[in-house]
Amino acid sequence: MNQPEQNLQPIEELYDPNSLKYSVNPTPQCLALAKRGKLVWYEPWQAWIMTRMPDIMDCWKREYLSSDFYDWEFAPQRPPQDQWSNFERALIGHSLVADHDHHRLVRRVTAPAFSRNVVDAIQKRIEPDVQKLFDELGEPESFDYLEKIAQEIPFISITRTIGVPEKYWPQIKQVILTFTETWNPTISDERRAKAREDSNQAIEILKQVIAERRAAPVQDDFLSVLLKVEEENDGFEEWDIITLVLALIGAGSDTTLVAQQWSVYALLKNPGQIPAALETADSFSNAFSEISRWSTQSKMGFARYAPEDMDILGQKVSKGQMVLMMPHLKNHDPEYYDDPETFDVKRVFNPDVLFGYGPRFCIGAALAKRQLYLTISELFKRFPNIELAEEPERDTTDHNAITFTRLMLKTNA
């Protein structure tokens, strides 16, 4: 790899996403990293960082880098097929990220599972659980939103969306907490191994739920739609269903928790924007893009791996090296956004790349934003005069995002 130019400050001194300074205000570090170049070597992660949005969009669109974790130079050896556990069968044999052609097939045939009608039906399934959470909360003078509401939402929304019967909830909960660690290259091997063990156990439960659902179909959840897709499409089978469910868990677990806390925080810091943000589900969809831009809570990005020795953006990248695409570096860049420090829920995003781009645009984006809208709108309906009780302390221990240790709210009920 290219050596850093002389007289430049070491990049790890400019950019440290695990520092308290970053968690309080990530903007200066993000801008400094982006100014260093289009592709920057980051020694602490043994990875290249892709910093510019046009290059990231091009990479998403052309898919010239591998999404297969086992192509990473530091990944464990890919196990032979006769030694695959449930995890390998799902994430290698039917991977949504590794096989581009199969990924496109899955997106095409499963589009009905993410239609507006299905999203509306899923909202109706989740709404009573959200209302029950607030009913149990009552009207306290103050409360910790993370503890009482936000931490419960990912589990409720995922299990209800998929259609996991409540008798399996205690067993499925652990994988919802740990699944995103199964491919995270910045954590220990032991921690990843434990997360995979959780996934293996969860897959056994999913296989049992699918068998029960075949015997007694239900019509208004994600799993039911996928079983119908399987029946009608050659090349789409049960392991594709399991992989899609795992993808939903990965997209809806810790990311939902982060989205919950930053949505509440951003709106309470900008109360004049609340009516416009919550006017409709569609208006909140745009508002959430602004919430994510304004907060810049990301630390890492989207991991890809060089399938061979390559020249990328003027740098020589060796086979197996990680390339992290980091679109959040642009969030407060005045060359990309007008008046970036202003929070504006009606800001126009064209294109909106919050949930990816091209063939890698998140197919469940509408579902994710609808679930978030349901909870946030219920909060402000119950407590129209709610406000922050204190400025929340940042938690620097999360591996992927800036989070809060708690989010104390004063209800003024």
| In the chain, domain spans | 11-410
Please say whether the beta carbons of 299 and 49 come within 8 A: no
Per-residue model confidence (pLDDT) at position 90? 79
Per-residue model confidence (pLDDT) at position 364? 66
Question: Which is it for strands 47-50 and 322-325: parallel, antiparallel or unpaired?
Answer: parallel
Please say whether the beta carbons of 199 and 87 come within 8 A: yes
Question: Per DSSP, which regions of 326-393 are E strands?
Answer: 387-388
Per-residue model confidence (pLDDT) at position 4? 47
Read off the tokens for 216.
């007694």
In 3D, which of 265, 263, 264, 271 has the Cα closest to residue 288? Answer: 263
Distance CA 49, CA 64 (A): 16
Distance CA 31, CA 332 (A): 8
Distance CA 303, CA 159 (A): 27
Instruction: Provide the H-helix boundaries in 216-237.
Output: 222-232
In 3D, which of 9, 56, 82 has the Cα closest to residue 302? Answer: 56
Per-residue model confidence (pLDDT) at position 341? 95
Q: Which amino acid is at 13?
A: E
Per-residue model confidence (pLDDT) at position 2? 47
Count the neighbouring beta carbons within 10 Å of the beta carbon of residue 233. Answer: 15
Count the neighbouring beta carbons within 10 Å of the beta carbon of residue 382. Answer: 16
pLDDT 10s per residue in the chain (413 long)? 444 455 788 998 999 999 999 999 999 999 999 999 999 999 999 999 999 999 999 998 898 999 888 889 988 888 888 888 888 887 776 555 556 666 677 777 777 767 777 778 778 888 999 999 999 999 999 999 999 999 888 788 778 878 888 888 888 877 877 777 776 666 788 888 888 888 888 899 999 999 999 988 876 677 888 898 888 888 788 988 888 888 777 766 677 888 999 999 999 999 999 999 999 998 999 999 999 999 999 988 889 999 999 999 999 999 999 999 999 999 999 999 999 999 999 999 887 777 666 666 666 677 778 888 999 999 999 999 999 999 999 998 887 889 999 999 999 98
Please say whether the beta carbons of 143 and 411 come within 8 A: yes
Q: Which class is 11-410 in CATH?
A: mainly alpha
In 3D, which of 394, 401, 383 has the Cα closest to residue 142? Answer: 383
Query: Percentage helix, strand, coil, to 5, in the chain?
Result: 55, 10, 35
Per-residue model confidence (pLDDT) at position 65? 94
pLDDT tens by residue, 257-283: 889 999 999 999 999 999 999 999 989
Which residues, 6+ apart, have CB-to-CB distance to 324 below 8 Å?
A: 42, 45, 47, 48, 49, 50, 300, 301, 302, 303, 304
Count the neighbouring beta carbons within 10 Å of the beta carbon of residue 147. Answer: 12
